[in-house]
Amino acid sequence: MGGALRIRTAWQQASLVLLLIVCGNLIQLRPANGADPGPAISGHQQAEPSSGQAGQDVPVSVLLPHMSPAWFLNRTRQLLHEGRAAEAHQLAQAGLDLYPHSAELRLGAAFAAMRTSRCQLAIRHLAPLRGAQLAPAVRRRAEGVRTACQGPWRHEAVIGATVGYRPSLVDRQGDVKIRLQPGSELHMLCVRLISLCNPDQPFFAPGKRDSGVDLWLNLTVRNLYRAGGDWDFDLDTTLFQRRPRRSGYAGHGAILRAAATYRKAAARQVRIGAETGLSRFQQGRPDLEIAQTHRRADIGLFFAHMAGLQSHIGVAYLTARSRWLDLARARYEYRLEKSLGGGLTMSLGGVRERSRQSAPGLMPGSRAREISIGLRWAGDHVAAQLHQARRHEVFIGRLPFLAAPHRARTRTTRLDLITAALPRWLNLKVVISFEYRKISTLDPFRLPSSKTLLLRISREIFSR
């Protein structure tokens, strides 16, 4: 296998030598800024006067330079400037054979293909760059090629499925044991109605088993405006359906999202988003079914302090309404990310939340704070992310069976394994997530702990 690889590499080098010799009289090799000039000399050169050779032209052998990506890019730009787009594309393609992961060379090959009126070939060159982390200047030039070939609007459709086991499909305890605290509303009521209820005896709220396999299906249609300028616009429509294996817990809904992203400078980005949606969920009994509408607005700021160190600041406001719930929540988030090298990134985050709730639901409003730490490793075909968060929530109002507002402390640990869209012909993206959550609270309806394993699969079925 090693010998075959060496033979193939030797043939590639030989073909490049032949290409450069054939094109030697067509290309005037000269360095540009950022390129490695190398000792490239071709043709004949006037020799210095010496004994027996004064004034004579002597042949000089062609010496190949160090063929770095910058060298190929420089020569490709030179040929494009001289109007030789076909030769530029041939040279850029030769460079891509040696450096297939060079975004600049791939962009140069796409631009040369576009200049030869082969837009389909240009789009194929740009396809591997989709979803990659690119410098803003490279991203704008790539979008400029796509816009010239296809126009500023892009349309995509993605189907997805999420399946996993949940200890509770409604995230609640099954059989609940309630003890009335002295001074609570229910305790005082039972004291007055001692013949009907004993305030010193616990109450039992029986429930039925609601654990099981949960299946979510979704379809997202995306309309993206990419003109290669400072602003990008997204409009997404998502339809989803919940079909758990246990009957009586199905649901469905739709979400409409709009977002605008401003990328004037490489070190700063601003994102503005808004969404609205409606949903309907069963809760195990027909009389508990929830029909809910929600609205959400958010704004986020990204800025880089230095190479490998960046910050994210976000503010979001959510409202949700149903016959059981009237929720208004403001969320403030900050996250600091540091690149550690080798594809490893560490993040530190903090969140503040303020919630206000009304309607017949038992849960009062609250104030919460959260701190988190995360590690992410990104390889060529798979990425792994470990996330640890601690949340402290203080409730404003009292539950009917508690004498004072209570608190809740939650510890969450999550591990995600993410694959690239492989195999390429199938274009599947797979995410496996395991989450362990432990809650310390006086609310008997909350699960004290839960373990959830989820498998998410998505596939792009249409793109234009």
pLDDT in tens, 388-431: 999 999 998 888 889 899 999 999 999 999 987 666 667 788 99
Q: Contacts from 137-141 at CB under 8 Å and sequence distance 24+?
A: 137/266, 138/103, 138/104, 138/107, 139/263, 140/228, 140/229, 141/107, 141/111, 141/228
pLDDT tens readout for residues 427-452: 788 999 999 999 999 988 888 999 99
8-35+67-151 sits in which CATH class? mainly alpha
Q: Is it the case that residue 44 has pLDDT exceeding 50?
A: no
Residues counted in the chain: 464
8 Å CB contact between 40 and 29 = yes
Q: Is it the case that residue 59 has pLDDT exceeding 50?
A: no
- What pLDDT is recorded for position 31? 35
- What pLDDT is recorded for position 13? 55
Whole-number Å distance between alpha carbons of 421 and 434: 21
Q: 423: cis peptide before it, omega within 30°?
A: yes
What is the DSSP secondary structure assignment for residue 145, as one 8-state letter?
Answer: H
* Other Cβ atoms closer than 10 A to 201: 10
283: Cβ contacts below 8 Å, ≥ 6 apart: 170, 248, 249, 289, 290
pLDDT tens readout for residues 212-237: 899 999 999 999 998 877 889 999 99
31-35, 144-148, 347-351: least confidently modelled range: 31-35
Percent residues over pLDDT 70 in the chain: 83
Q: Mean pLDDT across the chain, nearest whole number? A: 82
> What average pLDDT does this structure show over 14-40?
41
pLDDT tens readout for residues 123-155: 888 888 876 777 777 877 888 888 888 888 889
Three-class SS of residue 90? helix
Q: Is it the case that residue 8 has pLDDT exceeding 70?
A: no
Structure tokens at 208: 């039925």
Whole-number Å distance between alpha carbons of 75 and 94: 12
Amino acid sitting at position 137: A
- What pLDDT is recorded for position 416? 96
45 against 368, higher pLDDT: 368
- What pLDDT is recorded for position 445? 86
Percent residues over pLDDT 90 in the chain: 38
CATH number of the structural domain 156-174+209-463 = 2.40.160.40
Buried b (16+ CB within 10 A) or exposed e, 23-60: beeebebeeeeebeeeebebeeeeeeeeeeeeeeeeee
pTM above 0.85, yes or no: no
- What pLDDT is recorded for position 83? 85
Amino acid sitting at position 385: Q
pLDDT tens readout for residues 260-307: 999 877 678 999 999 999 999 998 888 888 899 999 999 999 988 888
**What are the backbone dihedrals phi and psi of residue 163, each rounded to the nearest 5 degrees, phi first?**
-135, 145
Decide: residue 399, CB within 10 A, 0-12 exposed, 13-18 middle, 19+ buried: buried
Whole-number Å distance between alpha carbons of 163 and 159: 14
pLDDT tens readout for residues 71-129: 888 888 888 888 888 888 888 888 888 888 888 888 888 888 888 888 888 888 888 88
Question: What residues does each domain of the chain span?
Answer: 8-35+67-151, 156-174+209-463, 175-206
55: confidence class by pLDDT, cuts 50, 70, 90: very low
8 Å CB contact between 442 and 405 = no
- What pLDDT is recorded for position 45? 36
Instruction: State CA 130 to chain mean position distance.
Output: 12
Whole-number Å distance between alpha carbons of 407 and 418: 35
